[in-house]
Amino acid sequence: MLRNTLRRSAATAVAIAATAAAVTVAGGAATASAAPAAARTPTCDVSGLRASLDDKGGHQNGMSHVGTVLVLTNTSGRACALRGYPGLQLEDAHHKAVDTTTSWGSTYFIPDPGKSTLLLQPGGSAEAALAWAHADAPRMVQAGYLRITPPASRDHLTIPFEQMVTNGQLSVTAFARSITVA
């Protein structure tokens, strides 16, 4: 009886090993087919981006709201990809972070274009609409700078942003090829 139990255990071990080998081979095939995916365009990194604000000649002022366009430009020598929304953080004049709330979606002035993957060639740019209120409220934040964290990044860029922001609340759209300001 002990001999039969050992034989069944050995047979089970062989079956498990054969299954594991099949999975490994299938996994190897999947890895080989994923190799072209790894060669896709890398995500834009802050070391190859420049941030700026541009009113685009439009008028985004009304009902105690102000808006502008946030522009990220690829300054690297290679193409990169962006998809989604930026992270935003207000800083005071001494670069100290202040309480900030960021809403992703449509702003007071511009509808959200939704997420799409944008391929930025060297010198190319992506834009997002940025808006905030500046009405009197119990908590007004005097910003001096704005930190911008590109999608899928942990690092940020910082640009001057001398604005009074109601309750530290910002709204921003997803990045798009271009934002039209009327």
CA distance 12 to 20: 12
Residue 178 lies in a domain: no
Cα 55 to Cα 59, 131, 139, 149: the distances in Å are 7, 11, 26, 20
Residues 50 and 5 in one domain: no
The pLDDT score that the predictor gives to residue 57 is 83
Read off the CATH number of the domain in which 141 is found. Answer: 2.60.40
Residues 57 and 135 in one domain: yes
Residues 3 and 50 in one domain: no
* pTM of the complete model: 0.77
The pLDDT score that the predictor gives to residue 27 is 38
pLDDT in tens, the chain (182 residues): 434 443 444 444 434 343 333 333 333 333 333 334 334 899 999 999 999 999 988 789 899 999 999 999 999 999 999 999 999 999 999 999 999 999 999 999 999 999 999 999 999 999 999 999 999 888 999 999 999 999 999 999 999 999 999 999 999 999 999 999 97
Residues 51 and 34 in one domain: no
Residues 6 and 51 in one domain: no
Q: Tokens for 10, please give them.
A: 């050995």
Residue 144 lies in a domain: yes
pLDDT digits (tens, 9 = 90+) for 120-141: 999 999 999 999 999 988 899 9
Residues 52 and 28 in one domain: no
- Establish how many alpha carbons lie within 13 A of residue 169's alpha carbon, considering only the half-sphere containing its beta carbon: 13
Residue 177 lies in a domain: no
The pLDDT score that the predictor gives to residue 32 is 34
Paired sense of beta strands 157-166 and 87-91, if any:
unpaired
Q: Tokens for 37, please give them.
A: 């995916």
Is the four-CA dihedral 108, 128, 159, 101 of positive or negative sign?
positive
The DSSP code sequence of 91-124 is E-TTS-B---EEEES--SSS------EEEE-TT-
Rg (CA), the chain: 25
The pLDDT score that the predictor gives to residue 25 is 35
Q: How many domains does the chain have?
A: 2
- For residue 127, give its domain range: 46-172
Phi and psi at residue 100, to the nearest 5°: -135, 140
